[in-house]
Amino acid sequence: MSLTTEQVRHVAHLARLGLDEVQIDSLSTQLGDILGLVDALSKADTASVTPMAHPLDMGQRGRADVVTESDRREAYQAIAPSAQDGLYRVPRVIE
């Protein structure tokens, strides 16, 4: 299983990871090895196996629809890089 450097660049961009050329080369090999390992699973016959969405064989429990959280904005914004008038400040985003 091999991964092209182009694919690695694309995935790195999607994940917003800044990689240099050396890292891209080595990661192509390493990620290819990991995929190769996982690919071994495709040799198993899974025709009769139901796909699993979660390792725990349980169903999700529903929570009661009740407001339990209080306003802790001050505490959360004290550790934010930047906040003003109750808003978190970020570099401008506009469409």
Partner 1 sequence: MNDTAHCIPDGWEAVIGLEIHCQLSTQSKIFSGSSTAYGAPPNAQASAIDLGMPGVLPVLNGEALRMAVMFGLAVDAEIAPVCVFARKHYFYPDLPKGYQISQYELPIVANGHLDITVGDAHKRIGITRAHMEEDAGKSLHEGFVNESGIDLNRAGTPLIEIVSEPELRTPAEAVAYMKKLHQIVVYLGICDGNMQEGSFRCDANVSVRRAGTTAFGTRTETKNVNSFRYVEKAIEYEINRQVEVLESGGSIQQETRLFDPSTGQTRAMRSKEDAHDYRYFPDPDLLPVHCGAQYIEDVRATLPELPVDKRARFERDYGLSTYDATVLTGERPLADFYETMVAEAGGEAKLCANWVITDLLGALNKAGLEITESPVSAAQMAALIQRIGDQTISGKIAKEVFEAMMNGEGDADAVIEAKGLRQITDDSAILAVIDQVIADNPKQLEQYKGGKDRVLGFFVGQVMKATGGKANPDAVNRLLKERLGPPGEA
Give Cα separations from 61 to 18, 58, 89 (angstroms): 40, 9, 36
Q: Out of 44, 77, 78, 81, which residue is the one contacting partner 1 (CB under 8 A)? A: 77
Which residues are bridge partners to 68 per DSSP?
Answer: none
Instruction: Give the position of tokens 């959360």.
Output: 76
Angle between the 21-39 and 5-14 helix axes, to the nearest 10 degrees?
100
Binding letters toward partner 1, positions 10-49, x by CB under 8 A:
x--xx-x---------------------------------
Residues 1, 32: contact at Cβ < 8 Å? yes
Among 1-9, 26-34, 39-47, 60-68, which window interacts with partner 1 (CB under 8 A)?
A: 60-68
Q: Out of 47, 49, 78, 90, which residue is the one contacting partner 1 (CB under 8 A)? A: 90
**Residues within the interface to partner 1 (CB under 8 A):** 10, 13-14, 16, 53-54, 56, 58-69, 71-73, 76-77, 84-95
